[in-house]
């Protein structure tokens, strides 16, 4: 396993696939160099016939078909979609196929490589206007002579129009452009995009694999790492946060107290209010730290605080630009709030999933092994049917939150259902 | 200097310079119309020019107010005098000091800091100032309605004025039209029964009245209010959030232990104390299971209003029905 792919926990088949592709891509570049120059009169993606005529028998590491121009990385949150995509980008851009040591690999890891276009939607959605700009930028030739990689994280945030604007660019990209899209599942993308990409499916890593990464990379105590890995259910980033951030662990404890404390109408309403308030507080903490510096930077860009002739004219558009920025910040705050709340709901769902496992007597590794006593108490107090209904209520709440239902109302509906079973 | 408010009818003899001061657009408009009519109605045919101060160029004022070859003078209405450019303001100020005899100048001014020098100059020159301040408070609207009936030569009792405000809403134009119509269609003193005969329902049905009726179990009244609210353009999202708030307060107040002080409850539930008192009355007839059922009905309606169902109106109506039914169930 070469250097850049080392961060992928428990994804051996994916790593093998990507390594083959990177080798084929390198071969493609060599072939073009032999045929008269990089990006020659046709360059890029050779038609199938020409590929066959080239006559080199594909070796085990060199299958011409192993590389293609559009990839869709799918897998549940935290399984390492963007990590895999970034590692692949490094393997494509690095002259040594992703050594992990050279300047090129380090730049890709830092997101500063000139030929890596990194898109990370921050708002609730990614609009068609932004996408058209992106398509234009993606059409450029690589500066480093290898590939121009567009890494689009959370591509499922694209609106339908935005996805349509991407279609042509993905189907026939510029000769050296490679698209790497990331989404939770292939079904999250419209079929027209899906059919134009090669899908790479990442598996949910086993808790042991996640714990190994935490121990190896962050130096976390093995026992603690395993507990965090189980609680995070394969989400590497979340496992690390649970193991290192005391606040995150405390919030999880608070969420997991809900099934035990919410036993009456009043308690259910209070629990709902506190769940929503916690999410709001956290969203505020995250966004406030970003908002003010962004506003300051914008004001400075318009020349606030400077003096001289023409400054009044320069300041003229500032109100509109500030409004624009504030809209984007608001959208980001809503998304952070929603994501935080969703995380809490997932923790809660994991608890009831464990309860169900106990009730059915299955021999499956429990996600909340650290709270076994609570779980057994909850399991003894209800039937599997009631647990399933509760799980359904949690999932309904998540759906409603994406529908933009008032968060407090949706969560109240859920906690009331948890009480009733 | 004479300062009056628009409620009193304008003087018959038109002053050479009048300033109509204030932001209540309807009153300003009516006052200006009255003044122009008075100026033209005194047996003289006059040339009326009506323009906005921001459209006036330098020197234009002189040409507009210079004597006509055919005599007769003119009426010049300058609107939004606060927006006049610097040059035009200076010209107007000069004009105020020595107005020519056969011109009637009517200016409207929004008040406020902009163009306040012009206003001061007008006052100093002895111009008639008629104030048309914004009508915002309920008592002021009540006064307005009474004044409207007086204008029409009618008397209305207090209850009738209140009923009319309830039925028509707060838009002055509509209120004035309603008063006109009542005065034209009836002969006696205007009373509450008469208003009820001509105007039914409430124009300003809000989500909160819908929620109050629903949790009190008055299904028919709640549905009526709901239809009114939807008909007058209250957003379904707001109605739904009012329903949620109403039912949520029931739950929070109902779940609190008996004898909890109102102030403490108000702080916990984030509602004003008077609201807590009302909720305590509404709580009669409710059972915790019913409240839970009602809240879930509202949550479902909220999802439907936000796009899960084709008709927001139907979703709300169904939620109101379910709330009323949940109250009855034990």
Q: Which two tokens stand for residue A165?
A: 């604007």
Q: pLDDT digit string (tens) for A322-380?
A: 888 888 888 888 888 888 898 899 889 999 999 999 999 888 778 887 888 888 888 88
Q: What is the mean pLDDT of chain A?
A: 84
Task: Tell which wins on pLDDT, A311 or B110.
Answer: B110
- pLDDT value of position A71: 93
Residue A48: is its pLDDT beyond 70? no
Distance CA A384, CA B4 (A): 79
Contact assessment for residue A197 and residue A85, using Cβ atoms and an 8 Å cutoff: no
Tell me the DSSP string of A265-324. HHHHHHHHHHHHHHHHHHHHHHHHHHHHHHHHHHHHHTTTT--STTHHHHTTTHHHHHHH
Question: Structural domain of residue A306, as residue ranges?
Answer: 265-420
Q: Which two tokens stand for residue B243?
A: 């329903």
Contact assessment for residue A331 and residue A124, using Cβ atoms and an 8 Å cutoff: yes
Q: pLDDT digit string (tens) for A267-288?
A: 999 999 999 998 888 888 888 8
Q: What's the total number of domains in chain A?
A: 2
Q: Is residue A11 part of a domain?
A: yes
Banded pLDDT at B202 (limits 50, 70, 90): low
Lowest-pLDDT range of A44-48, A105-109, A217-221, A385-389: A44-48
Q: Which of B288, B292, B299 sits opposite A409 (nearest CB)?
A: B299
Q: Are residues B142 and B230 in the same domain?
A: no
Q: Which of A266, A404, A406 sits opposite B241 (nearest CB)?
A: A406
Q: pLDDT digit string (tens) for B264-300?
A: 888 888 888 888 888 988 888 899 899 999 999 999 9
Q: Which of A265, A400, A417 sits opposite B251 (nearest CB)?
A: A265
- pLDDT value of position A365: 79
Centre a 10 Å sphere on the Cβ of residue B146 and count the other Cβ atoms it contains.
20
Residue A314: is its pLDDT beyond 80? no
Residue A43: is its pLDDT beyond 60? no
Residue B201: is its pLDDT beyond 80? no
Residue A51: is its pLDDT beyond 60? no
Q: Are residues A141 and A37 in the same domain?
A: yes
Q: Which of B179, B198, B217 delimits the end of a domain?
A: B198
CATH number at residue B186: 1.10.8.60
Banded pLDDT at B162 (limits 50, 70, 90): confident
Tell me the DSSP string of B105-126. EEEEE--SSTTHHHHHHHHHTT
- For tokens 């029964």, name the residue: B193
CB contact under 8 A, B295 and A416: yes
Handedness of CA B282, B286, B288, B294 (dihedral sign): negative
Task: Tell which wins on pLDDT, B15 or B318.
Answer: B318
- pLDDT value of position B67: 76
Please indicate if any CB of chain B lies within 8 Å of the CB of A38: no
Q: Are residues A277 and A190 in the same domain?
A: no
Q: Are residues B148 and B249 in the same domain?
A: no
Q: Which of A142, A169, A199 delimits the end of a domain?
A: A199
Distance CA B246, CA B225 (A): 15
Contact assessment for residue B89 and residue B58, using Cβ atoms and an 8 Å cutoff: no
Question: Structural domain of residue B159, as residue ranges?
Answer: 138-198
Banded pLDDT at A55 (limits 50, 70, 90): very low
Please indicate if any CB of chain B lies within 8 Å of the CB of A265: yes
Q: pLDDT digit string (tens) for B222-251?
A: 999 899 889 888 899 999 999 999 999 999
- pLDDT value of position B43: 65
Q: What is the mean pLDDT of chain B?
A: 85
Nearest to A255 by CA among A343, A384, A355: A343
Which of B270, B299, B307, B323 has the highest number of chain A CBs within 10 A, making it the mutation to test binding with A? B299
- Neighbouring C-alpha atoms within 13 Å toward the C-beta of B224: 9
Residue A64: is its pLDDT beyond 60? yes
CB contact under 8 A, A266 and B300: no
Q: What element of type H or E holds B275?
A: helix B273-282
Provide the ipTM: 0.71
Nearest to A400 by CA among A284, A287, A280, A276: A276
Please indicate if any CB of chain A lies within 8 Å of the CB of B267: no
Q: Are residues A22 and A164 in the same domain?
A: yes
Q: Are residues B154 and B35 in the same domain?
A: no
- For tokens 């994280």, name the residue: A153
Q: Are residues A26 and A100 in the same domain?
A: yes
Centre a 10 Å sphere on the Cβ of residue B32 and count the other Cβ atoms it contains.
21
Of all residues in chain B, the one with the smallest CA distance to A411 is: B299
Residue A12: is its pLDDT beyond 50? yes
Banded pLDDT at A46 (limits 50, 70, 90): low
A21: closest CA of chain B, how far (Å): 43
CATH number at residue A40: 3.40.50.300
Q: Are residues A378 and A270 in the same domain?
A: yes
Distance CA A53, CA B5 (A): 96
Q: Cα dihedral angle (A347, A350, A356, A360), rounded to 10 degrees?
A: -150
Tell me the β-bridge partners of B74. B47, B103
Banded pLDDT at A45 (limits 50, 70, 90): low
Q: Which of B102, B131, B160 delimits the end of a domain?
A: B131
Q: Which of B100, B131, B162 delimits the end of a domain?
A: B131
Residue A318: is its pLDDT beyond 90? no
Task: Tell which wins on pLDDT, B248 or A263.
Answer: B248
Q: Are residues B76 and B156 in the same domain?
A: no
Provide, as residue numbers in chain B, all residues whose Cβ is less than 8 Å from the Cβ of A265. 251, 254-255, 288, 291-292
- pLDDT value of position A216: 84
Q: What's the total number of domains in chain B?
A: 3
Q: pLDDT digit string (tens) for B68-102?
A: 777 677 888 999 988 888 888 888 898 888 887 77
Q: Are residues A159 and A299 in the same domain?
A: no
The number of angstroms, rounded, from the C-alpha of A341 to the middle of its chain's C-alpha atoms is 17
Please indicate if any CB of chain A lies within 8 Å of the CB of B257: no
Q: Are residues B188 and B276 in the same domain?
A: no
Provide, as residue numbers in chain B, all residues whose Cβ is less than 8 Å from the Cβ of A266. 251-252, 254-256
- Tally C-beta pairs within 8 A across A and B: 60
Residue A49: is its pLDDT beyond 50? no
Tell me the DSSP string of A90-106. HHHHSTTS--SSSHHHH
What is the mean predicted confidence (pLDDT) over B55-67?
A: 83
CB contact under 8 A, B255 and A266: yes
* pTM recorded for the entire structure: 0.67
Which of A261, A271, A416 has the highest number of chain B CBs within 10 A, making it the mutation to test binding with B? A416
């Amino acid at each position: 396993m070469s250097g850049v792919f080392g961060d992928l926990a428990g994804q051996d088949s994916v790593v093998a696939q990507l390594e083959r592709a990177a080798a084929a891509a390198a071969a493609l570049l060599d072939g073009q160099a032999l045929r008269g120059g990089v990006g020659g009169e046709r360059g890029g993606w050779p038609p199938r016939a020409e590929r066959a005529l080239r006559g080199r028998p594909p070796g085990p590491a060199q299958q011409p078909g192993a590389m293609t121009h559009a990839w869709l990385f799918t897998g549940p949150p935290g399984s390492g979609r963007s990590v895999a995509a970034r590692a692949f980008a490094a393997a494509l851009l690095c002259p040594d196929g992703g050594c992990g040591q050279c300047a090129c690999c380090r730049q890709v890891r830092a997101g500063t490589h000139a030929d890596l276009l990194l898109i990370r939607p921050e708002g609730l959605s990614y609009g068609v206007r932004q996408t058209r700009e992106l398509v234009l930028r993606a059409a450029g030739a690589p500066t480093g002579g290898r590939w121009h990689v567009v890494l689009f994280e959370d591509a499922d945030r694209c609106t339908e129009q935005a996805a349509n604007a991407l279609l042509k660019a993905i189907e026939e990209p510029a000769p050296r452009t490679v698209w790497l899209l990331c989404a939770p599942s292939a079904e999250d993308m419209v079929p027209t995009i899906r059919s134009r990409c090669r899908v790479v499916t990442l598996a949910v890593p086993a808790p042991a694999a996640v714990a190994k990464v935490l121990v190896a990379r962050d130096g976390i105590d093995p026992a603690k790492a395993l507990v965090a890995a189980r609680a995070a259910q394969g989400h590497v980033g979340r496992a690390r946060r649970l193991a290192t951030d005391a606040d995150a662990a405390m919030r999880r404890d608070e969420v997991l107290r809900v099934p035990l404390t919410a036993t009456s109408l009043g308690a259910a309403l209070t629990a709902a209010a506190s769940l929503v308030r916690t999410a709001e507080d956290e969203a505020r903490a995250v966004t406030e730290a970003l908002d003010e510096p962004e506003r300051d930077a914008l004001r400075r860009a318009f020349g606030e605080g400077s003096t001289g002739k023409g400054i009044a004219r320069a300041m003229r558009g500032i109100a509109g630009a500030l409004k624009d920025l504030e809209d984007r910040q608001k959208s980001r705050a809503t998304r952070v709030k929603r994501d935080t709340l969703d995380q809490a709901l997932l923790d809660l769902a994991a608890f009831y999933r464990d309860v169900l496992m106990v009730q059915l007597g299955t021999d499956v590794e429990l996600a909340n092994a650290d709270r076994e006593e609570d779980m057994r108490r909850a399991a003894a107090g209800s039937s599997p049917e009631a647990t399933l209904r509760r799980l359904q209520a949690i999932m309904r709440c998540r759906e409603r939150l994406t529908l933009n239902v008032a968060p407090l109302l949706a969560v109240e509906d859920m906690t009331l259902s948890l009480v009733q079973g | 200097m004479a300062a009056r408010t628009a409620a009193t009818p304008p003087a018959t003899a038109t002053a050479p310079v009048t300033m109509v001061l204030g932001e209540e657009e309807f009153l300003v408009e009516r006052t200006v119309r009255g003044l122009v009519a008075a100026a033209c109605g005194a047996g003289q045919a006059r040339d009326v020019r009506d323009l906005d101060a921001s459209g006036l160029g330098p020197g234009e004022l002189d040409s507009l107010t210079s004597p006509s070859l055919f005599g007769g003078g003119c009426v010049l209405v300058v609107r939004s005098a606060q927006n006049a450019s610097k040059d035009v303001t200076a010209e107007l100020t000069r004009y105020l000091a020595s107005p020519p005899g056969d011109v009637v100048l009517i200016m409207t001014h929004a008040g406020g800091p902009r163009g306040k020098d012009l206003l001061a100059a007008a006052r100093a020159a002895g111009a008639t100032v008629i104030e048309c301040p914004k009508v915002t408070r309920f008592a002021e609207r009540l006064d307005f309605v009474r004044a409207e009936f007086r204008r029409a030569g009618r008397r209305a009792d207090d209850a009738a004025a209140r009923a009319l405000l309830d039925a028509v809403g707060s838009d002055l134009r509509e209120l004035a039209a309603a008063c006109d119509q009542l005065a034209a269609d009836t002969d006696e003193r205007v009373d509450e029964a008469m208003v009820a005969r001509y105007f039914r329902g409430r124009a300003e049905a809000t989500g909160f009245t819908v929620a109050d009726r629903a949790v009190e179990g008055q299904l028919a009244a709640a549905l009526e209010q709901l239809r009114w609210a939807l008909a007058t353009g209250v957003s379904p999202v707001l109605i739904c959030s009012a329903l949620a708030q109403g039912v949520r307060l029931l739950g929070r107040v109902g779940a609190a232990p008996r004898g909890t002080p109102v102030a403490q409850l108000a702080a916990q539930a984030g509602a004003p104390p008077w609201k807590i008192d009302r909720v305590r009355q509404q709580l009669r007839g409710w059972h915790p299971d019913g409240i839970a059922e009602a809240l879930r009905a509202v949550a479902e309606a909220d999802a439907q209003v936000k796009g899960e169902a084709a008709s927001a109106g139907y979703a709300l109506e169904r939620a109101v029905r379910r709330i009323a039914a949940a109250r009855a169930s034990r």
